[in-house]
Structure 1
Amino acid sequence: MLINVILLVILAVCVVTDVRKRKIYNKVIFPSLVAAFVLNTAMGGLSGFGESIIGFSVGLALLLIPYILGGMGAGDVKLLALVGALKGYEFVLESFIYTALIGGLLAVVVIMTRGGFRMSLGVGMPYGVAIAGGAVVALLMDVTLL
């Protein structure tokens, strides 16, 4: 429960900064990563730490290629890695699926509001919003399945 609250607070902060400044700040991500590793270790011992590391690695890997290709900012990659560090690899995989769907819907909105596909080329969007939305949907799905 505590990890879910921490996740929601971090996501809210990152959405605000991503929408306003188009940045996801390291001063939010890095202390949160430390907290994720410490909390998971405290709650689950070495296996909790291991799950946190695996979740971090999976979250990082999912967006690393889009980042390398220039289609995503480093903050987005670190945010998804943080989601994995907090909640584990299964959760980050589920979140990623919802993130991709929400990101696609946001892209359609950007294209429509910018006057078509050609007018939208080169226009970025705050993908932290999609990551946060995907994580929230995954949380809601976990709650409703219990």
Structure 2
Amino acid sequence: MVLVIEIFLVVILAICVITDVKSRKIYNKVVYPCLIAVFIYHFSSGGLEALIHSFLGFLIGLALLLLPYILGGMGAGDVKLLGLIGAFKGGAFVFQSFLYIALIGGVIAVGIIIFRSGVLKSFFYFLYSLKNGVRDTSIVSKGSLTATYPYGVPIAAGVVLSIVADKGFFL
């Protein structure tokens, strides 16, 4: 039955990634019904103890992205999606996923800074200016540091990586 839950989770993540990439939104009409279904599933399959475990996972998932949301670096849909993941798989899983999510998100952010800002071109100009005795410190443009991207992508990738890691394929 765990495999069915994981397949359902991956399908929900795929839907959220598509909507996040297309419209930069993770819709409540996807997250809330799934959340209710997950709570009902856990209660019916494991009783009150499983429901509490699921609810604690939900709270942990929300808490992990609450500060970035408050600081304006994250959308509310991303926070609710991580809460949903916690409700699906529990607190330990959502925390492990969060570590993968943060790493993947950081790599994507660095990639965006490099490719959107023309930092490679600036870096070569910087090296050229050092060689010729001129000091140029404008490697990264200010606009590239405020660039955003749909965080549903690293959330989904981190969760899939966690599922694969739990199955013992690596790590």
Specify the TM-score bucket, using the shorter chain as the normaliser: over 0.9
Segments ≥4 residues shifted beyond 6 Å: none
Gaps (5+ residues) in structure 2? Answer: 120-139
- More helix, by proportion: 1
**2:61 matches 1:59:** yes
Deviation of the 1:36 alpha carbon: 1.0
Q: What's the counterpart of residue 24 of structure 2? A: 22
Q: What's the counterpart of residue 155 of structure 2? A: 131
Letter in 1 for 2:146: G
Deviation of the 1:52 alpha carbon: 0.6
State the structure with more CA Rg: 2
CA distance in 1, matches of 2:12, 2:31: 8
CA distance in 2, matches of 1:42, 1:138: 25
Residue identity over aligned pairs, in percent, reads 54
The CA RMSD over aligned residues, in Å, is: 1.0
Q: What's the counterpart of residue 96 of structure 2? A: 94
Gaps (5+ residues) in structure 1? Answer: none
- 1:20-45 CA-to-partner distances (Å, cap 9, x unmatched) read 11110001000010011011111211
Q: What's the counterpart of residue 73 of structure 2? A: 71
TM-score for both structures, normalised by structure 1: 0.96
**2:64 matches 1:40:** no
TM-score for both structures, normalised by structure 2: 0.82
How many residue pairs end up in the alignment?
145
